[in-house]
Amino acid sequence: MAEIPYKIFLEESEMPKAWHNVRAVMKELPDPFISPATGKACTADDLRPVFCDDLIAQELNTTDEYIEIPEEIRSFYKMYRPSPLVRAYNLEKALDTPAKIYYKFEGNNTSGSHKLNSAAAQVYYAKKQGLTSLTTETGAGQWGTALSMACAFYGMDLTVYMVKVSAEQKPHRRAVIETYGGKVIPSPSDTTEVGRRILAENPGTGGSLGCAISEAMETALKTEGCRYVLGSVLNHVLVHQTIIGQETYAACKKYGIEPDMIIGCAGGGSNLGGLISPFMADYIQGKNNIDFVAVEPASCPSLTRGRYAFDFGDTGKMTPLMRMYTLGSGFMPSPNHAGGLRYHGMSPILSKLYHDGYMRAVSCEQTKVFEAAVKFARVEGTLPAPESSHAIKAAMDEAIRCRETGEAKTILFGLTGTGYFDMTAYQAYLNGTMTDYIPTDEDLERGFATLPKINF
Amino acid sequence: MAEIPYKIFLEESEMPKAWHNVRAVMKELPDPFISPATGKACTADDLRPVFCDDLIAQELNTTDEYIEIPEEIRSFYKMYRPSPLVRAYNLEKALDTPAKIYYKFEGNNTSGSHKLNSAAAQVYYAKKQGLTSLTTETGAGQWGTALSMACAFYGMDLTVYMVKVSAEQKPHRRAVIETYGGKVIPSPSDTTEVGRRILAENPGTGGSLGCAISEAMETALKTEGCRYVLGSVLNHVLVHQTIIGQETYAACKKYGIEPDMIIGCAGGGSNLGGLISPFMADYIQGKNNIDFVAVEPASCPSLTRGRYAFDFGDTGKMTPLMRMYTLGSGFMPSPNHAGGLRYHGMSPILSKLYHDGYMRAVSCEQTKVFEAAVKFARVEGTLPAPESSHAIKAAMDEAIRCRETGEAKTILFGLTGTGYFDMTAYQAYLNGTMTDYIPTDEDLERGFATLPKINF
């Protein structure tokens, strides 16, 4: 077996030609989406006004373990992939741990994150279908940037509803989106009915991902040749993100790396789902014994404190109902929350795997996350995104535990992106003005009260 | 010969073990530095109060073509190198050119640029000598970030004098430096004599690199165990940057790529010098016929409109005199200048090569540079730094010329960094508020009037 370099790059010829679809090997499938109008499982026809056809097919595909990546998308991927699988030699040394730490780094592209993996695919399929414009929402801005890059490349118009607090905290992120030609509207806005309603109810709101989703969907439905695209949560997004896992799986095979633990941050869940997908398929089939760990913010704890229930994907209650771990679509993270991963729900696929005991979840307070981020930056060089730093925090905790027990575990985590546009939050941490927030049970109850009153 | 992928990454085992020193093969050497006090060539002893010993040896080394990279620096390099040599297939297609375009991309690290290559080396040598702190200046902030990263890694204190206008335009760049533990002081400041003098003379000044250099040097001279480090211009910096050229040279050999033209942006000149160094050695020895092109801003045209003269490296006139192309150390770029490359002089090595006809230089106006940058970003994905975009502009012009003549030239350029922290300038370009500035002959005369009145 070859010696392990600091950074493993697959050869272009070794790059995956298919995405992975873990649903094909799951013993029980996630519940289907339910139409709130009919109370029945959504069909492709129900989804067609909102999503484009190839994505609907992927969304509903529970049988094919591998889904071919079209040549045109593989060409796009070659612009910024393969991403490196990095051996964190310096972090291991700094922690004085016998553990071997690896991270799959998705930040080496202008969007600064893994989001481009699905943006490339979604815009390609929309273009193929003859659509002319897209709408989306963005929180931290990584998804909006990624989509704007893909739209520039394929020649599509784009409107991005950007969570207002993010647009204000990150004007330069907005400028990047605009440089690639995307139009940015801070959300809630007066350009949609749902936006106007939310503004009337709560004029001072900093917005939420759920609300931005509602605005983007409304605009897509009202515009000819336009569709809505989403950067996480949905099954097809998770499938696209399996390019991360497929590359990681190939690199591990090539170098004989056998992870004992795979860790990822989880907001909507697509990056973690994408990273673990092929490894999880092996686990389900008894071929490995990996400990899969989702890490989420203590301030937005959908897996660790949420309910496994049917819920809307958006605040405006326009989406089908999805069974997932959720805090309720009306849950609003505290305004002091700076670490991303603000979504109220969780990927139905990950939710099902978690519910059935195939993986576990932990939550972290943001000051601890930033402490880990700064430590990591100083020894490994790369400045991580706050989102990604949730995974760093959990990996470091485990590596420190290994130091105490003497275990030489192999820990692999997803480093989903860079923190260049999160410097306001880093400054707050460095200045000591960052605070933590853990929702009280009453806070959570207020969110749960927004769950739909439907029993199946 | 292997098929050429979008991105060529050398294997870790193929990474260069030595820097290149083109002076060893130059037919005539650059003039030595002159001590303004004695009028004689500087010795190592003259430089010792300011620079650390190993760097002085490299600064004065005109005989060894290869200088071994210490194992510890090669380990640091492995964190973010090798950098990819990218085939710009998408740009070629967008320009409909028969030219083959390659770029060596140095932006995939948190400093966002090639600057880390020399920062790693300089901090390592300072630490080896037992020094405890460093000072430096930074303009666009890339050098300050790189040095702060290296200081965090090796455990050194750092004070960064940041050109005031940059500190104001780029608060987040400053925050990155601080995240890695560096202390940032906007320059001119009241912490030094030279800063206080410049503030008294010109209270509204936005500062300049030359002024920031003077402040950093003064502080280093007055502080025990402290030295000054510089991110460009000097010979040893150019030597460190040859890691770019050495990797590019190795990749070209591996894949049979024979550049007809190598283009780089030139501020202080170290990235361009580093990129071309091994290719230039071959050229000098008649082994290739490459057209080497430096691209500089029309607003700060040291090669194309400067004088080849002995000059100070800094506004405060504290450095030795270096013979170089210069606009005079008192030259101040226009305040509307947003594209970096603000330095009044040019690497003595590059200046000599240019003076002796081994390379040529062109200048570009900034709106044309940003036009090329946006075009590049939209087809190649990566958002380029304004500095790097000077090289993009020249490469695109040549590729368009090739379309007209039908020549299938191989054009290689250096993409030195990313533009994440230049969004204010990108916005100005997109809003149409960016203007160009070309110094009048009278403007230049005011700069030349600050040249030392010394004849040799």
Structure tokens at B95: 């320009």
The tens digit of pLDDT for each residue in A118-162 reads 999 999 999 999 999 999 998 878 899 999 999 999 999 999 999
Q: Work out the burial of residue B157: count CB atoms within 10 Å of its CB; fewer than 13 is exposed, 13-18 middle, 19 or more buried.
A: middle
B180 touches chain A (CB under 8 A): yes
The pLDDT value recorded for residue B291 is 98
Identify the band that residue A384 occupies on the pLDDT scale cut at 50, 70 and 90. very high
Per CB-CB distance under 8 Å, the chain A contacts of B382 are 80, 109-110
Which whole number is the average pLDDT over A255-284? 97
Yes or no: say if B248 and B273 are a contact pair by the CB < 8 Å rule.
Answer: no
Tell me how far apart the alpha carbons of residues B127 and B119 are, in angstroms, rounded to a whole number.
Answer: 12
The pLDDT value recorded for residue A231 is 86
Tell me how far apart the alpha carbons of residues A61 and A65 are, in angstroms, rounded to a whole number.
Answer: 9
The tens digit of pLDDT for each residue in B64-119 reads 999 999 999 999 999 999 999 999 999 999 999 999 999 999 999 999 999 999 99
Provide the shortest C-alpha distance from residue A156 to chain B (in Å): 12
Q: Where are the alpha helices (DSSP H) in B223-347?
A: 235-255, 270-284, 302-305
Please say if the pLDDT value at position B361 is more than 60.
yes
The tens digit of pLDDT for each residue in B329-344 reads 989 877 777 777 888 9
Q: Are A79 and B6 inside 8 Å of each other by CB?
A: yes
B9 touches chain A (CB under 8 A): yes
Query: Which of B115, B378, B379, B434 to probe by mutation at the A interface, max A CB count within 10 Å?
Result: B378
Identify the band that residue A78 occupies on the pLDDT scale cut at 50, 70 and 90. very high
Residue B335 backbone phi and psi in degrees, to 5:
-65, -20
Provide the shortest C-alpha distance from residue B183 to chain A (in Å): 13
The pLDDT value recorded for residue A1 is 56
A15 touches chain B (CB under 8 A): no
A94 touches chain B (CB under 8 A): no
The pLDDT value recorded for residue A70 is 98
Nearest Cα neighbor of B216 from B236, B234, B193, B233 is B193
The pLDDT value recorded for residue A285 is 97
Q: Are A12 and B7 inside 8 Å of each other by CB?
A: yes
Q: What angle do CA A331, A336, A342 make, to 5 degrees?
A: 40
Per CB-CB distance under 8 Å, the chain A contacts of B79 are 6, 90, 380-381
Per CB-CB distance under 8 Å, the chain A contacts of B108 are 108
Yes or no: say if B295 and B361 are a contact pair by the CB < 8 Å rule.
Answer: yes
Provide the shortest C-alpha distance from residue B263 to chain A (in Å): 21
- DSSP letter at A319 equals S
Lowest mean pLDDT among A189-193, A214-218, A247-251, B277-281: A214-218
Average pLDDT score, chain A: 94
Please say if the pLDDT value at position A3 is more than 90.
no
Question: Pairing mode, if any, of strands B307-312 and B321-326?
Answer: antiparallel
Closest residue in B to A379 (Cα) is B153
Per CB-CB distance under 8 Å, the chain A contacts of B110 are 377, 381-383, 418, 420
Q: What percent of chain B has pLDDT over 70?
A: 99
Work out the angle between the directed axes of helices A366-380 and B142-154 (0-180°, nearest 10): 90
End-to-end CA gap in chain B: 52
For B53-123, list the strands marked E by DSSP. 66-68, 85-87, 100-105
End-to-end CA gap in chain A: 52
Distances (CA, A) of B98 to B1, B11, B89, B409: 21, 30, 11, 7
Tell me how far apart the alpha carbons of residues A404 and B6 are, in angstroms, rounded to a whole number.
Answer: 45
* ipTM computed for the complex: 0.92
Per CB-CB distance under 8 Å, the chain A contacts of B374 are 179
B427 touches chain A (CB under 8 A): yes
B110 touches chain A (CB under 8 A): yes
Structure tokens at A338: 């700076």
The pLDDT value recorded for residue A366 is 95
User: What residue type is assigned to position A334 of the chain?
Assistant: S
Identify the band that residue B455 occupies on the pLDDT scale cut at 50, 70 and 90. low
Please say if the pLDDT value at position A337 is more than 80.
no
Yes or no: say if B268 and B340 are a contact pair by the CB < 8 Å rule.
Answer: no
Radius of gyration of chain A (CA): 20
Question: Pairing mode, if any, of strands A85-87 and A7-8?
Answer: antiparallel
Query: Which of B77, B173, B382, B423 to probe by mutation at the A interface, max A CB count within 10 Å?
Result: B423
Distances (CA, A) of A216 to A127, A161, A194, A230, A445: 18, 6, 10, 9, 28
For B151-289, list the strands marked E by DSSP. 157-163, 183-187, 226-228, 261-265
The pLDDT value recorded for residue B1 is 56
The tens digit of pLDDT for each residue in B159-194 reads 999 999 888 878 888 999 999 999 999 999 999 999
Q: Are B179 and A377 inside 8 Å of each other by CB?
A: yes
The residues in A 234-293 lying below 8 A from B, measured between CB atoms, are none
Per CB-CB distance under 8 Å, the chain A contacts of B423 are 171-172, 175-176, 179
Closest residue in B to A174 (Cα) is B423
B418 touches chain A (CB under 8 A): yes
Identify the band that residue B2 occupies on the pLDDT scale cut at 50, 70 and 90. low
Q: Are A153 and B108 inside 8 Å of each other by CB?
A: no
Please say if the pLDDT value at position A456 is more than 60.
no
Average pLDDT score, chain B: 94
Tell me how far apart the alpha carbons of residues B299 and B314 are, in angstroms, rounded to a whole number.
Answer: 19
The tens digit of pLDDT for each residue in A305-322 reads 999 999 998 877 888 999
Please say if the pLDDT value at position B285 is more than 90.
yes
Please say if the pLDDT value at position A447 is more than 80.
yes
Q: Are A378 and B176 inside 8 Å of each other by CB?
A: no
- DSSP letter at A70 equals P
Which whole number is the average pLDDT over B402-409? 97
The tens digit of pLDDT for each residue in B23-61 reads 999 999 999 999 988 889 999 999 888 888 999 999 999
Please say if the pLDDT value at position A171 is more than 70.
yes
Q: What percent of chain B has pLDDT over 90?
A: 82
B382 touches chain A (CB under 8 A): yes
Nearest Cα neighbor of B188 from B147, B219, B158 is B219
Hey, what domains does chain A have and what are their CATH numbers?
Answer: 18-67+115-228 (3.40.50.1100), 82-112+242-448 (3.40.50.1100)
